Amino acid sequence: MGNVTIIGAQWGDEGKGKVVDWLASRADIVVRFQGGHNAGHTLVVGNQTYKLSLLPSGLVRGKMGVIGNGVVIDPDALLAEIGRLQAQGLVISPETLRIADNAPLILPLHAALDRAREAARGVHKIGTTGRGIGPAYEDKVARRAIRVCDLAEPETLSSKLDELLLHHNTLLAGLGAATFEKQALLDALLALAPQLLPYAEPVWERLAAARASGAKILFEGAQAVMLDVDHGTYPFVTSSNTVAGTAASGAGLGPDAVGRVLGIAKAYCTRVGSGPFPTELHDETGTLLGERGHEFGTVTGRKRRCGWFDAALVRQAVKVGGIQGLALTKLDVLDGMKELKIGVGYLIKGEKFRHLPAGMAAQAAALPIYETLEGWSGSTRGARSWAALPAQAIKYVKRIEELVEAPVTLLSTSPERDDTILMQDPFAA
371, 224, 234, 220: which is closest to 304 by C-alpha? Answer: 224
Strand pairing class (339-348; 367-374)? antiparallel
Q: Residue type for 30, please?
A: V
Could you give the CA distance from residue 292 to residue 191 in angstroms, rounded to a whole number?
Answer: 45
State residue 131 phi and psi, 5-degree precision: -100, 5
Which residues are CB-neighbours of 376 under 8 A, at least 6 positions away?
Answer: 334, 335, 336, 390, 391, 392, 393, 396
C-alpha distances (whole Å) from 69 to each of 100, 111, 166, 379, 387 are 5, 20, 25, 43, 44
252 sits in which H/E element: none
Active site residue 355: no
Active site residue 114: no
Length of the chain equals 429
* Sequence-ordered alpha helix ranges (H) in 29-97: 75-87
* Sequence-ordered alpha helix ranges (H) in 197-273: 203-212, 246-249
Could you give the CA distance from residue 325 to residue 422 in angstroms, rounded to a whole number?
Answer: 11
Q: Which of 41, 110, 168, 231 is catalytic?
A: 41
Strand ranges across the sheet with 64-67: 200-201, 97-100, 64-67, 29-32, 217-220, 4-8, 260-266, 325-329, 408-412, 420-422
Q: Which of 13, 74, 114, 332 is catalytic?
A: 13
Residues carrying an active site annotation: 13, 41
